């Protein structure tokens, strides 16, 4: 769902990764991962905003249970009036914003068990991260789940594209923060000031 909207390009994709390897899941269960990316670019392909939702589902006896949910955020226009890290991850209990029918069209084949209510501990901590946009999240998923041999080949194929061809985030606020105190690299630099 790519579109030009208010002078920006909006990119939206959802991936359903079925039966991903995990050393923590027994042989009678499987790990499925749903990734939903929503990113905005300038017409010159500079990334200005990125939110990538990742849901981890354990499937057992044809029932899928949401066991971990998080999202990665980046906003080039972050402002001190709403202080949060320029790049961050946030743990939550949110299921991706796609209907069960849309997931089924991607090959999802289990009965979905999603929490109907937020739990009492609404996690709101935003943990500063390095750049974790859509390509970065996919890169990490391959590293975490497909093993060193596959990852090595994948990285050799993908690294040149990541460095040279994909749009890079507009990190002017981060550069300004680093210039103000270059002797100290601290997590405070991930906040707009």
Tokens of 12: 């939206």
Task: Give yes or no for residue 186 having a pLDDT over 70.
Answer: no
Task: Dump pLDDT digits (tens) for 102-139.
Answer: 888 999 999 888 666 665 556 567 888 888 889 889 88
- pLDDT computed for residue 124 by the predictor: 66
- 3-state per-residue secondary structure call for 93-111: CCCCCCCHHHHHHCCCCCE
Residue ranges of alpha helices (H) inside 62-169 are 100-105, 134-145, 148-164
Task: Dump pLDDT digits (tens) for 16-36.
Answer: 999 998 888 888 899 999 999
Cα angle, residue 80 at apex, residues 76 and 81 outer, rounded to 5°: 115
- pLDDT computed for residue 193 by the predictor: 42
Length of the chain: 193
pTM over 0.75: yes
Residue ranges of alpha helices (H) inside the chain are 100-105, 134-145, 148-164, 172-180
**CB neighbour list of residue 117: distance below 8 Å, 6 or more residues apart:** none
Cβ burial, residue 54 (10 Å; 0-12/13-18/19+): buried
């Amino acid at each position: 769902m790519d579109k030009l909207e208010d002078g920006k390009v909006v990119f939206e994709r959802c991936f359903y990764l079925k039966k991903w390897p995990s050393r923590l899941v027994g042989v009678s269960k499987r790990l499925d991962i749903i990734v939903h990316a929503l990113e905005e670019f300038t017409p010159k392909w500079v990334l200005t905003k990125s939110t990538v939702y990742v849901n981890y589902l354990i499937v057992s006896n044809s029932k899928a249970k949401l066991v971990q949910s998080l999202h990665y955020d980046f906003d080039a226009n972050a402002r001190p009036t709403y202080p949060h890290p320029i790049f961050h991850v946030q743990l939550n209990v949110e299921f991706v914003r796609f209907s069960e029918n849309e997931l089924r069209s991607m090959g999802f084949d289990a009965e979905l068990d999603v929490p109907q209510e937020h739990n009492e501990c609404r996690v709101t901590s935003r943990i500063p991260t390095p750049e974790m946009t859509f390509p970065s999240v996919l890169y990490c998923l391959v590293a975490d789940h497909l093993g060193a041999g596959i990852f090595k080949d994948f990285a050799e194929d993908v690294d040149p594209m990541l460095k040279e061809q994909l749009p890079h985030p507009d990190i002017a606020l981060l550069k300004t923060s680093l210039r103000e105190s270059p002797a100290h690299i601290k997590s405070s630099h991930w906040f707009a000031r």
